[in-house]
Amino acid sequence: MVDNDTIMKSGKCMECGANETDGLSCYEMFQFPLVWEHNDPKLYDLHFWLVSCYMIQHPSNYTKDGYNHLINLFIEAFDNDWDTAYILRKNRELILKVGKITNPLPNHKRKRIYRRWSLTMEDLYSGGEENAINNINKWKETIRKDLKNNGICTAN
């Protein structure tokens, strides 16, 4: 199965390892919390974390510099407990130094490397809208731990 961002093989995402759930790829499951955000301003406040967690687990969408930028921003924001407004301001400042962010290769030509993650989009989706806030917070914490455990650190 191929969609805009993921390739599922044998029912699993080739990058994050999420299982196909309800016939949906991890990218298709990702669309659900994006809609749920519109029903709850507190959930929308976590938009940066939702998108970052998903994108960190799908590096084929980025250039090397773009992915490093995302990792650095995520780690700095998490470790320093930045609020959303500050995260977005820092992103605008730093993005100018990065250059090309998104992978210019067509989706089917991108190199995908599987990495084991403690939680994936599958977990957030399966928890449903009523648990989305708690699950996004849990997801960002586990992503940070996984980054440390995998030796993925800031490039600074």
- Has residue 72 been placed in a domain? yes
- Has residue 32 been placed in a domain? yes
Residue the block writes with tokens 């609020």: 83
For the chain, the residue count is: 156
pLDDT value of residue 153: 64
pLDDT value of residue 2: 38
pLDDT value of residue 59: 93
Number of domains in the chain: 1
pLDDT in tens, 32-47: 999 999 999 999 999 9
- Has residue 71 been placed in a domain? yes
Please provide the distance, in angstroms rounded to a whole number, between the alpha carbons at the two ends of the chain. Answer: 37
- Has residue 1 been placed in a domain? no
Is the distance from CB of 153 to CB of 147 less than 8 angstroms? yes
Q: Identify which of 26, 15, 95, 99 has the alpha carbon closest to the alpha carbon of residue 59.
A: 15
3-class secondary-structure state, position 91: helix
3-class secondary-structure state, position 6: coil
Neighbours of 32 (CB within 10 A): 17
pLDDT value of residue 130: 97
- Output the pTM of the full model: 0.90
- Has residue 155 been placed in a domain? no
Range of the domain at 64: 8-149
| Neighbouring residues of 64: CB distance < 8 A, sequence distance ≥ 6 | none
Average pLDDT of the chain is 90
The ranges of the chain with pLDDT < 70 are 1-6, 153-156
- Has residue 154 been placed in a domain? no
Say how far apart CA 150 and CA 116 lie, in whole Å.
9
Say how far apart CA 37 and CA 139 lie, in whole Å.
16
CA distances from 132 to 1, 8, 64 (A): 26, 24, 30
pLDDT value of residue 5: 62
